[in-house]
Chain A
Amino acid sequence: SQQGEEDPQALSIQEGENATMNCSYKTSINNLQWYRQNSGRGLVHLILIRSNEREKHSGRLRVTLDTSKKSSSLLITASRAADTASYFCATVNGYGQNFVFGPGTRLSVLP
């Protein structure tokens, strides 16, 4: 079964608003990564957070990790129409070999 589960499954917001997506997982991890996928394309890495980190920022992205709750969140601030895509979290196990992706959150940013 998949390790990561994103929530919500779909999210529709207006341009300029913030978008928050959550990811829950079940077992211990080495790190957790967020990826974006535009329709019909490959995945693009957004940000990586290690198990000993609690928060990371990259441009308009903010990721938090709570290992006690086995959950992570991705915040996209001041969203743009170009942010419309599917967003996936991937958990990486303690040995760093196995990436397990969740089913994703489909984000629509309306102009």
Chain B
Amino acid sequence: DTGVSQDPRHKITKRGQNVTFRCDPISEHNRLYWYRQTLGQGPEFLTYFQNEAQLEKSRLLSDRFSAERPKGSFSTLEIQRTEQGDSAMYLCASSRTLGEGGSYEQYFGPGTRLTVT
């Protein structure tokens, strides 16, 4: 395995449509994170999984966003009823875990660029 992969790399959709993105983490990593990044800004945390459990979700995340990680492997991020403000780069990252609850570095995928017209 060479790294984190994301699919698709680019998505153009019309306002009101639903979109789903996929992330395949590095196989031995048990933590998986989703971020959103807009131009000129740093990644903004959306949600985080440890194995299959979704342990944290940003309060900024509307109910239109949902994420899953069945069986603790790949993850999907779905946006329902997309809005123009959802246009951004969606980044996925994975990491291992230190025994005491700390974190190793995150490995990022190339991102999915979403454009809502």
Contacts and interface: CB of A to CB of B under 8 A. Distances in A.
A65 interface: no
B101 A96 contact: yes
Report the interface size class on chain B.
20 to 34
A99 B33 contact: yes
Interface string B95-117: 00110111111111111000000
Contacts of B50: 97
B43 A43 contact: yes
A77 interface: no
Given A97-B56, A98-B56, A30 B45 contact: no
Given A102-B42, A103-B42, A97 B111 contact: no
Interface in B26-42: 31, 33, 35, 40-42
Contact of A98 (B42, B48, B93, B100): B48
Contacts, number: 70
A71 interface: no
A35 B37 CA distance: 14
B42 A44 contact: no
A43 B109 CA distance: 8
Interface of A: 2, 4, 30-31, 33, 35, 41-45, 48, 50, 88, 90, 92, 95-104
Interface of B: 4, 31, 33, 35, 40-45, 48, 50, 55-56, 91, 93, 97-98, 100-111
